[in-house]
Amino acid sequence: MHKLRAGTGQMLLLVVLELCCKTTLTSVARGGIFDVTGKFGARVACRALLRSATEIARGMLYLHDAGIVHGDLKPANVLLVRSDEDRRGFICKVADFGLSHVLPSCATSVTAESWGTVGYMSPEAFSGRSSRATDVWSFGVILCELMTGQPAYGDATREQVLAGVLAGSLHPAWPDGAPLIQPIIELGRRCLSRDPHDRPPFGDIMPELVRVEVELRAEGLAMLAEAQEAAEAAAALQAAAGPVTPGGGENGELETAACAARAAPHLPYLWL
């Protein structure tokens, strides 16, 4: 207070913000944490993606319920807070409200004088209209970039993106294959519907993401239980066979046990 030269009777407004010390979502996406073909394995990467997307959707739902349109939603505006309780090591926080707008009472959109970031703008946003649906479009682009770790429109220039999105001739490059991420891709495509009325609200997006992760976790637990049962069966067979010497008469039982052990599904690291 002394350094600020605040005198007696003067009012001083302080804004205290949460410290987000784990960089932005852009950095971790490029690091491959959400890549289902990468080193972390498809199931872990997919759940990390779903968890992060859910946190963004939850933040956006809070804003939209308060009548606020973000106006510039992108990975660089999602800050990461360190978390020792989450296996990702972070929690996502939506930030940077420099281009946000408050929707007038009963209004669904406002006229925006300033543009957001071109690569995340919807067709109607280029015409100066900002709404909850324009934020949903941006979220759809984010989903694509989290899965690929690359810009949604590849090497296209700012001008090419603008022209292509307006004309409907340029679309995000969604990844191929990987059945685990198909529900996320389908959701992302709905978020990128050209008609704003066809885009799902965050009130629908968030529970859908939660449901997909819950189902994925249940599948992982079922796989783990199956593997444990197979391993226990193999151990029981080997124990019943007793110790044998190479070439002994008990080889048949040991071979059966070995086959049972090999039949147990190979499980990657499961994020439970």
Quick check: 268 and 43 in contact, CB under 8 A? yes
Give buried/exposed letters for 237-264 (b at 16+ CB in 10 A, else e). bbeebeeeeeeeeeeeebeebeebeeeb
3-class DSSP assignment, residue 115:
coil
205, 208, 213, 215 alpha-carbon torsion, rounded to 10°: -170
Strand partners, 94: 78
Distance of CA 133 to the CA centre of its chain: 19
Place of tokens 């294959």: 177
3-class DSSP assignment, residue 189:
helix
| Strand ranges in 112-240 using DSSP code E only, listed in sequence order | 129-131
Active-site residue 72, yes or no?
A: yes
Nearest to 66 by CA among 22, 19, 101: 101
Alpha helices in 196-272, H assignment, sequence order? 202-241, 251-263
Residue at 121: amino acid letter: M
Q: Which of 72, 155, 176, 195 is catalytic?
A: 72
Q: How many CB atoms lie within 10 A of CB 175?
A: 16
The residues annotated as belonging to the active site are: 72
